[in-house]
Amino acid sequence: MFAGSSLLFVLLAGHALADFPLQNTFLAEGKNRHTEIGRIWWPYALTAHALIHGGFVTVLTGSVVLGLAEMSIHWLTDWMKCDGRISVHVDQAIHIACKLLWFLLVAIVVR
């Protein structure tokens, strides 16, 4: 588990890794129920993508509860983005806000 400002940095770095290079074409298209591949695979692809994010948060914070919260919010946020309910910019803002929240919660509990 990381502490101090290094935790925030690695949470953001983990997000950058999981949302860009680790999200291959299959996950990016498959998580969207409106794409050809997504019509079949969207529940699995979206859940796998959100689980990767939750795994990063769990490993970096040492908290399964925060990892599950990340997974749940990431799943819902990406579902709303793929459904056209929010923009990619709102999607990313929510993801980053979650990382800030996890950082603050860990900082408060560790005190």
Residues 8, 13, 16, 17, Cα dihedral to 10° = -140
Which pLDDT does position 96 carry in this prediction? 98
In the chain, the number of structural domains is 1
Which pLDDT does position 5 carry in this prediction? 84
This prediction's pTM: 0.94
Q: Is the Cα dihedral 105, 81, 15, 96 positive or negative?
A: negative
Domain of 80, in residue numbers: 5-110
Which pLDDT does position 4 carry in this prediction? 79
C-alpha–C-alpha distance, residues 21 and 35, integer Å: 20
- DSSP state string for 87-103: -HHHHHHHHHHHHHHHH
Whether 74 contacts 53, CB under 8 Å: yes
Residues (pLDDT < 70) of the chain are 1, 3, 111
